[in-house]
Amino acid sequence: MLNIPLWRRLLIAAVLLFGLLFAMPNLFYERVEAHNDAVTAIEVFGDSPERAAARDGWPGWLPSSLVNLGLDLRGGAHLLAEVHLSDVYGTRIDTMWTDVRDALREERATVGTIRRQDGPDDELRVRISQPEGMSTALQAVRGLAQPIVSLTGVGANDIEVRADGDVLIVTLSEAERIATDDRTMQQSLEIIRRRVDEAGTREPTIQRQGADRILIQVPGIGSAQELKDIIGTTAQLTFNHVVGRTSNPNEAPGARNVLYPALDEPDTYYIVNKSAVVTGEDLVDAQPAFDQNGLPVVTFRFNTSGARKFGDYTAENIGNPFAIVLDEEVVSAPVIRDAIRGGSGQISGQFTIESTTQLAILLRAGALPAELTFLEERTIGPELGADSIEAGRIATMVAFAAVLVFMGLSYGLFGLFANVALVLNVALIFAVLSTIGATLTLPGIAGIVLTIGMAVDANVLVFERIREELKTAKGPARAIELGYEKALSAIIDANITTLIAAVILFLMGSGPVRGFAVTLGVGILTSIFTAIFVTRLFVVIWMERRRPKTITV
């Protein structure tokens, strides 16, 4: 049966139309890119004649998503950084010392005198002079343990305390380590993202990879070293005295004062004292938590000197706001309700759980929490990328033309059908890649060229089969029908095996290899579609119009 119902014809036509429409922006790459940039710029910075002109370079009602160009095509820098997660354990355990000391001093009668011992970085070792009081000591220190607030809400404590002879050892619990690792990673990602965004580059990729790695790809940047410099800069976090609040960005702040914009409130500016009360260097931790009313807050903790400075300041300024300033922007300006002694406090406000988590990250994001080692660095110059695109473009065109001629010579009219389907196939590939926001890399271009070669395979299978069926002389219509029917199983088997390879490449590969896997996979799917549905539709329409008595394939 060569009948294809009307709805199916319309559906095929609709898919092809989608393909052509969504592939088209890629033909006008620069113009569409300028348009997209201008649209974003207008949203952020407002209108200007140049931006409006760039925006109008491409009609707004047409699709404007483009295939992203990979680093190897656009040029830029790629870094793979490893975060030294265990660095943080030491700092974390170190801050326990004050609390542990105070707790044990209260039990001096049974425990005796205490002395901190040297040990591995992630352990706090305390020797007590009266070993028989160890059980009391253990109990006292265990009392300091805090339940871990995590999304899973499993009731684990943050520290483990054990005794080794007359030495009491405090370590972070496994659950706390996992939670700390996760915080460290989030914090590192956040800092790196802020640093890179600040540099104002286009479409940076900053991704967590595995347990302790971060992948950073920034197109258009001069070199990996430049990128490392940006990431390496530490954030400036300060706690400042608030002098006033205004909506006028040009207001004169007065001597020894500065005007900073508020991060979350539009058109709000704070006039703050230039010299900070406490700086981020004195902050040791910040965590999302809940206050006694169950409202989300952020708790924070200073080191000893920070605690003293902050305590004195807050005691003198009850009822006044102080500003938490991050990189010359006021993150928040809470009102001081009480003198904050002891170096820890909480920031309350109209917070949600998300915003407290975010704020805690930002507060901790003052400096990178742990050292980074760069495992992989790649710099690709923009000229090399442009050369690669040019070479790829020429090679694709030539491959395309050669395959078209070859198919035409081999299969005549049917070859032409296959050729039209092949053109549509390439359009579909670009349409899908643009729509899913895939990244085109140099091996990806090779993937497309390979697809051009292989896409005709399904057609060849069908045409060869039709030739065979014609020999047994059942009439052209029946031969075509049988050809499609019998070739289907081979087409599907053959393509699924290639698809398996593409999927494995995608799962295991990274960067350019992954780009290749995506184009190969998409190419396989679109070429099955064009071979089984599109070419067949052409053949059927031709048969209906001409009703040939004999055909040659």
Partner 1 sequence: MRLKLVPENTKWDFFRFARATFGASIAAVIASIAVFALIGLNFGIDFRGGTTIRTESSTPVDVAAYRAALAPLNLGDVTITEVFDVNFDEDQHVSQIRIQAQDDQESISAGTVASVEAALQALDPAITFPSVESVGPKVSGELVMTAIYAVLAAIGAVLVYIWLRFEWQFALGAVAALVHDVLITIGIFSVLQIKFDLAIIAALLTIVGYSLNDTVVVFDRVRENLRRYKKLALGEVLNLSINETLSRTVMTSVTTLIALISLIVLGGDVIRGFVFAMILGVVIGTYSSVFVASNILLMLGVKRDWTKQDPSAGTQFGNADA
Binders of partner 1 among 482-541, rule CB under 8 A? 484-486, 488-490, 492-502, 504-505, 508-509, 512-513, 516-517, 520, 532-533, 536-537
Residue listed under structure tokens 């996760």? 182
Minimum CB distance to partner 1 smaller for 156 or for 488: 488
Shortest CA distance to 519 belongs to which of 392, 418, 402, 401?
392
Rule CB under 8 A: which of 424-443 touch partner 1?
A: 442-443
Binding mask 446-485 for partner 1 (x = CB under 8 A): x--xx-xxx-xx--xx--x--xx---------------xx
- Shortest Cβ distance from residue 233 to partner 1 (Å)? 16
- Kindly tell me which residue out of 16, 38, 80, 277 binds partner 1, with binding defined by CB under 8 A: 80
Residue listed under structure tokens 């395959």? 403
Rule CB under 8 A: which of 217-246 touch partner 1?
A: 223-225, 228
Minimum CB distance to partner 1 smaller for 361 or for 445: 445
- Kindly tell me which residue out of 120, 381, 437, 548 binds partner 1, with binding defined by CB under 8 A: 381
Instruction: Tell me the C-alpha to C-alpha distance, in Å, between residue 212 and each of 185, 274, 457.
Output: 7, 38, 44
- Shortest Cβ distance from residue 245 to partner 1 (Å)? 45
* Binding range to partner 1, per CB under 8 A, among 100-108, 149-157, 319-327, 395-403: 395-403
Compute how many residues bind partner 1; rule: CB under 8 A: 85
- Shortest Cβ distance from residue 241 to partner 1 (Å)? 41
- Shortest Cβ distance from residue 207 to partner 1 (Å)? 15
- Shortest Cβ distance from residue 224 to partner 1 (Å)? 7
* Binding range to partner 1, per CB under 8 A, among 146-154, 194-202, 333-341, 398-406: 398-406
- Shortest Cβ distance from residue 191 to partner 1 (Å)? 20
Rule CB under 8 A: which of 101-130 touch partner 1?
A: none
Minimum CB distance to partner 1 smaller for 224 or for 432: 224
- Shortest Cβ distance from residue 430 to partner 1 (Å)? 17
Q: Does 311 bind partner 1 (CB under 8 A)?
A: no
Instruction: Tell me the C-alpha to C-alpha distance, in Å, between residue 10 and each of 2, 510, 530.
Output: 16, 39, 14
Q: Does 376 bind partner 1 (CB under 8 A)?
A: yes
**Residue 382 β-bridge partners:** none
Structure tokens at 532: 């089984």
Please check whether residue 478 is in contact with residue 497, taking contact to mean a CB–CB distance below 8 angstroms.
Answer: no
Minimum CB distance to partner 1 smaller for 495 or for 526: 495
Minimum CB distance to partner 1 smaller for 290 or for 374: 374
- Shortest Cβ distance from residue 448 to partner 1 (Å)? 9
**What kind and span of H or E run contains 322?**
strand 322-326
- Collapse the DSSP code of 350 into the 3-class scheme (helix H, G, I; strand E, B; otherwise coil) and give the result: coil
CA 321 – CA 311 distance, rounded (Å): 14
Rule CB under 8 A: which of 3-62 touch partner 1?
A: 4, 8
CA 347 – CA 300 distance, rounded (Å): 8
Minimum CB distance to partner 1 smaller for 53 or for 398: 398
- Shortest Cβ distance from residue 415 to partner 1 (Å)? 9
- Shortest Cβ distance from residue 246 to partner 1 (Å)? 44
Type of residue found at 412: G
CA 477 – CA 482 distance, rounded (Å): 9
- Shortest Cβ distance from residue 104 to partner 1 (Å)? 42
Residue listed under structure tokens 């005549």? 412
Instruction: Tell me the C-alpha to C-alpha distance, in Å, between residue 272 and each of 283, 328, 509.
Output: 20, 10, 51
- Shortest Cβ distance from residue 529 to partner 1 (Å)? 10
- Kindly tell me which residue out of 410, 435, 525, 538 binds partner 1, with binding defined by CB under 8 A: 410
Burial of 363 (0-12, 13-18, 19+ CB in 10 A): buried
Residue listed under structure tokens 């490392």? 228
Q: Which residue pairs from 422-426 have beta carbons closer than 8 angstroms and sit at least 24 positions apart in sequence?
A: 422/452, 422/455, 422/456, 422/530, 424/16, 424/19, 424/20, 424/530, 424/534, 425/451, 425/455, 425/523, 425/526, 425/527, 425/529, 425/530, 426/23, 426/400, 426/451, 426/452
- Shortest Cβ distance from residue 411 to partner 1 (Å)? 7
Determine the distance from the C-alpha atom of residue 368 to the mean position of all C-alpha atoms in its chain, rounded to a whole number.
18
Which phi and psi (to 5°) does residue 258 adopt? Answer: -135, 160
- Kindly tell me which residue out of 17, 395, 436, 473 binds partner 1, with binding defined by CB under 8 A: 395
Structure tokens at 299: 């708790």
Radius of gyration of the chain (CA): 33
Please check whether residue 329 is in contact with residue 263, taking contact to mean a CB–CB distance below 8 angstroms.
Answer: yes
Minimum CB distance to partner 1 smaller for 343 or for 447: 447
- Kindly tell me which residue out of 399, 416, 423, 525 binds partner 1, with binding defined by CB under 8 A: 399
Three-state secondary structure string covering 177-200: HHHHHHHHHHHHHHHHHHHHHHCC
CA 402 – CA 149 distance, rounded (Å): 64
Minimum CB distance to partner 1 smaller for 331 or for 531: 531
Q: CB 353: neighbour CB atoms within 10 A? A: 12
- Kindly tell me which residue out of 31, 274, 301, 378 binds partner 1, with binding defined by CB under 8 A: 378
Minimum CB distance to partner 1 smaller for 151 or for 409: 409
Minimum CB distance to partner 1 smaller for 284 or for 455: 455
Minimum CB distance to partner 1 smaller for 21 or for 397: 397
- Kindly tell me which residue out of 270, 302, 313, 411 binds partner 1, with binding defined by CB under 8 A: 411
Minimum CB distance to partner 1 smaller for 324 or for 524: 524
Residue listed under structure tokens 């809400």? 153
- Shortest Cβ distance from residue 85 to partner 1 (Å)? 15
